[in-house]
Amino acid sequence: MNIAVALGNIARAKGMTAVAKEADLSRENLYRALSKNGRPELGTVMKVLDVLGVQLMAKPRDDKAA
């Protein structure tokens, strides 16, 4: 499962119409972007994360993982 599908599942549980409205996106495009074959833009992902109260953070990789 990729992040778009996971976000889609969460957004559907919260109510896709409400998420789309709060993110200022169309419901149809949001369904499409967060589907199995969707390829959402980073801006779309960030808007949905914001609506869901989630923050995406980047941190340096552990040197042992390299």
The residue ranges of every structural domain in the chain are 3-65
Q: What local confidence, expressed as pLDDT, does residue 47 receive?
A: 96
Distances in Å between the alpha carbon of 38 and those of 4, 41, 54, 62?
7, 10, 20, 31
For the entire predicted model, the pTM comes to 0.83
Q: Give the Cα separation of 24 and 18 in Å (integer).
A: 10
Is the CATH number 1.25.40 carried by domain 3-65?
Answer: no
| pLDDT over 70 at 66, yes or no | no
Q: Give the Cα separation of 46 and 40 in Å (integer).
A: 10
Q: Give the Cα separation of 4 and 43 in Å (integer).
A: 12
Q: Give the Cα separation of 46 and 55 in Å (integer).
A: 8
pLDDT tens digits along 8-57: 999 999 999 999 999 999 999 999 999 999 999 999 999 999 999 999 99
